[in-house]
Every structure is written in structure tokens, then in C-alpha cells.
């Protein structure tokens, strides 16, 4: 019999979908969870921040496994749909030769360079966190079990910071960006003669495009500090 036959028992499973701007507008009033993803054996390298409706924002630092369990609890206790923002690459682009390349957002910075310039999803730490995100989503799906929840995924890209910040601070920033109205998201596009692959497709899920990317405004360079440094140079 086909899985859709009425004689078979229905099997509920949590599912992931790629978030787009229209879904973001609709999800602000429900459960919104933001994660600055870390990948360590013992340390609390994951920053977690969440808000459900009009309830106050909450935040915590936690381990990789602890973060998964906490999100599963939050999603299970909330309504059937939740927004999840992960500060980790959730898509990647490849050129016509099959090689990884900086992602195309349909626009560039003022200097003509990619919005990722030097922080590409496939470079160094980006590649590690991208792999961590795949494991994270797979284990979250397992933790949700037979829940019929829908997790709407968004990507956070907090970089180009003037000073080091705590993981939980970056999670709070992403949460504030999502529920606010002043910051728009960026849509990743497949490059000409190349392809785009999402983390959902790696997990065997269907994906209608890549998750919307939330990028905080890049801080202006501290030119005054540079002038002071030049004057003090021998």
C-alpha cells in the first residue's frame, strides 16, 4: 500500500523548512529561538536566546547537546510552528567547476566585494560550523521524535565585529534582529552555471531555496583610532 492509504496509521515527524521574508513576518509573534552554534566536547560554546509571544526574552549558555535538548523542549511546549535562527552557514554555493565559492546574495558591498568577503561559508571556521549545523539539525530532528512541529530555519551571520563577544550575546542580537522591523534579510542565489546546496538537502529534506540570511549592519571602521596609531608610529 502507498503511505497515503487510509488503512495505514499516520506517522508524525517534525520537519524543517527554509525561512523566507514573508514567513519571518508571520512568525514574530510565536516562538523564536536563536542559536550561536558552538561545537565542543565539554565547554558551553552555544549561546541560546528565545522568546515566545509577549513573554520576556530568555537566554543561556549551554553545550552542544544541551542546546538541542532545550530547543526540543521549547518547541514541544509551544505551538506547532517555530522560527529557529542558527548562526552557522546553512547553504553553500559551487561554481561551474564544482568548487566552493562565496555565496551570491544578488548584491555586493560598497567596495564591490561579496557580503561575505573573507568570511566565506567554506573557509576555516565557517566550514567547521557548517558541518556542526548538519549534525545539530539531525539530532534536533531525532530529539523531537514524532512531534508534528514545523521548524522554520533562518541563518544568522554575525561577523566583522570590532571586539570579541560572548556566544549568548550574539544569540540575543540575532533574536532582536528577527523580531525587529529595521533589518531585512538576504536571499542566497544559485550562481550562474553553478549550484546552491542547503543543509536541509544534505539531511534529505526538501528545500525550496536557502534559508534567509540575517546579517547585522557592518560597523564603520574606527578611522580616528587609525589616525592615532599612525601618529604614534616611529
How do residues 161-196 score in pLDDT, each as one tens digit? 556 778 899 999 999 989 886 667 889 989 889 999
Q: Interhelix angle for 125-144 vs 64-77, to 10°?
A: 40
Let me know if residue 63 belongs to a domain: yes
Let me know if residue 205 belongs to a domain: yes
Residue 222: what pLDDT?
58
**This prediction's pTM:** 0.84
Let me know if residue 220 belongs to a domain: yes
Residue 10: what pLDDT?
44
Q: Is 134 exposed, middle or buried (0-12, 13-18, 19+ CB in 10 A)?
A: middle
Let me know if residue 7 belongs to a domain: no
Angle of CA points 57, 52, 208, to nearest 5°:
115
Specify the 3-state DSSP secondary structure of 204. coil
Is residue 174 within 8 A of residue 214, CB to CB? The reply is yes
Residue 162: what pLDDT?
59
Residues of the chain with pLDDT under 70: 1-12, 79, 108-113, 117, 159-163, 181-183, 218-234
Residue 230: what pLDDT?
47
- Domain that residue 212 falls in: 15-232
Q: What span, in angstroms and rounded, lies between the C-alpha atoms of 48 and 61?
A: 6
Q: Is 64 exposed, middle or buried (0-12, 13-18, 19+ CB in 10 A)?
A: buried
- DSSP structure string for 12-43: ---EEEE--HHHHHHHTTSEEEEEE----SSS
**Cβ contacts of 76 within 8 Å, gap of 6 or more:** 144, 147, 149
Residue 219: what pLDDT?
60
Residue 160: what pLDDT?
58
Residue 163: what pLDDT?
65
Going by the DSSP 8-state scheme, the letter that residue 208 receives in this structure is: S
Q: How many domains does the chain have?
A: 1
Residue 228: what pLDDT?
46
The model's pLDDT over 9-20, given as tens digits with 9 standing for 90+, comes to: 445 678 899 998
Let me know if residue 138 belongs to a domain: yes
Amino acid at each position: 500500500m502507498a503511505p497515503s492509504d487510509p488503512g495505514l496509521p499516520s506517522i508524525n515527524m517534525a520537519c524543517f523548512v527554509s525561512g523566507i521574508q514573508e514567513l519571518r513576518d508571520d512568525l514574530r509573534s510565536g516562538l523564536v529561538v536563536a542559536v550561536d552554534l558552538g561545537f565542543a566536547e565539554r565547554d558551553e560554546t552555544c549561546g541560546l536566546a528565545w522568546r515566545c509571544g509577549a513573554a520576556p526574552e530568555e537566554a543561556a549558555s549551554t553545550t552542544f547537546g544541551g542546546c538541542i535538548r532545550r530547543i526540543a523542549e521549547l518547541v514541544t511546549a509551544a505551538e506547532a510552528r517555530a522560527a529557529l535562527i542558527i548562526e552557522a552557514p546553512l547553504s553553500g554555493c559551487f561554481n561551474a567547476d564544482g568548487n566552493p565559492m562565496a555565496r551570491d546574495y544578488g548584491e555586493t558591498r560598497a567596495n564591490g566585494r561579496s557580503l561575505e568577503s573573507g568570511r566565506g561559508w567554506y573557509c576555516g571556521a565557517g566550514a567547521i560550523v557548517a558541518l556542526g549545523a548538519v549534525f545539530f539539525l539531525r539530532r534536533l530532528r531525532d530529539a523531537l521524535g514524532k512531534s508534528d512541529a514545523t521548524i522554520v530555519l533562518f541563518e544568522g551571520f554575525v561577523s566583522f565585529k570590532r571586539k570579541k563577544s560572548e556566544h549568548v550575546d550574539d544569540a540575543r542580537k540575532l533574536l532582536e534582529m528577527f523580531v525587529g522591523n529595521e533589518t531585512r534579510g538576504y536571499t542566497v542565489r544559485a550562481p550562474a552555471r553553478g549550484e546552491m546546496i542547503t543543509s536541509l538537502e544534505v539531511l534529505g529534506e526538501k528545500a525550496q531555496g536557502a534559508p534567509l540570511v540575517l546579517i547585522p549592519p557592518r560597523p564603520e571602521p574606527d578611522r580616528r583610532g587609525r589616525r592615532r596609531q599612525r601618529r604614534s608610529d616611529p
